């Protein structure tokens, strides 16, 4: 019983972490970047590459 309970807690934690990481990724945040997004100058944004390309083409 104890084993099942602990296993369930671990599985739930893992699922919760992965779900959060997927959500962060969808929201343009990095999964493994240690910086907080407010420090990051948008470096983790998913559309950043497009923005850089646009600016480079413009510049």
Partner 1 sequence: MNIRIALAGNPNSGKTTLFNALTGSNQYTGNWPGVTVEKKEGKLKGYGKGETTVTVVDLPGIYSLSPYTLEEVVSRKYLLEEKPEAIVNIVDGTNLERNLYLTTQLKETGIPMVTAVNMMDLVRKNKEELNLAQMEKDLGCPVVEISALKEEGIDRLIETAVSVAKKAEPSHRLVFDEKLESVISAIEKKLGGLLPQNNPDWYAIKVFERDEKVVEQLCLTASLKQEIDAYISSVEKEYDDDSESIITSARYHQIETMIHDCYVKRNRQSDSISDRIDRVVTNRILALPIFALVMFLVYYVSVTTVGSILTDFVNDTLFGEWILPSASAALESIGCAEWLNGLVVEGIIGGVGAVLGFVPQIFVLYLFLAVLEDCGYMARIAFIMDRIFRRFGLSGKSFIPMLIGTGCGVPAIMASRTIEQDRDRRMTIMTTTFIPCSAKLPIIALIAGALFDGAAWVAPSAYFTGIVAIVTSGIILKKTRLFAGDPSPFVMELPDYHIPSVKNVFHSVWERGSSFVKKAGTIILLSTIIVWFMQAFGFENGVFTMVEDMNNSILAMAGNCIAWIFTPLGWGDWKAAAAAVTGLVAKENVVGTFGVLYGFGEVAEDGMELWGTLSSEFTAFSGFSFLVFNLLCAPCFAAMGAIAREMNSAMWFWIAIGYQTLLAYACSLCIYQVGTWITTGVFTLGTVIAGIAIIGFIYLLIRPERKVA
Residue with tokens 């950043």: 48
Q: Is 7 in the site for partner 1 (CB under 8 A)?
A: yes
Q: Which is nearer to partner 1, 10 or 27 (CB)?
A: 10
Q: Which of residues 27-56 bind partner 1 (CB under 8 A)?
A: 30-36, 38-44, 48-49, 51-53, 55-56
Give buried/exposed letters for 31-40 (b at 16+ CB in 10 A, else e): eeeeeebeee
SS3 state at 22: helix
Q: For residue 23, is it left (φ>0), alpha (ψ between -120 and 50) or beta?
A: alpha
Q: Is 8 in the site for partner 1 (CB under 8 A)?
A: no
Q: Name the site residues for partner 1 (rule: CB under 8 A).
A: 1-3, 5-7, 10, 13-14, 17-18, 20-21, 30-36, 38-44, 48-49, 51-53, 55-56, 58-59
């Amino acid at each position: 019983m104890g084993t099942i309970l602990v296993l369930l807690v671990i599985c739930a934690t893992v699922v919760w972490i992965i779900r959060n990481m997927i959500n962060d990724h969808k929201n343009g945040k990095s999964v493994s970047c240690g910086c907080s997004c407010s420090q990051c100058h948008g470096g983790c944004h998913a559309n950043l590459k497009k923005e850089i390309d646009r600016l480079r083409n413009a510049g």
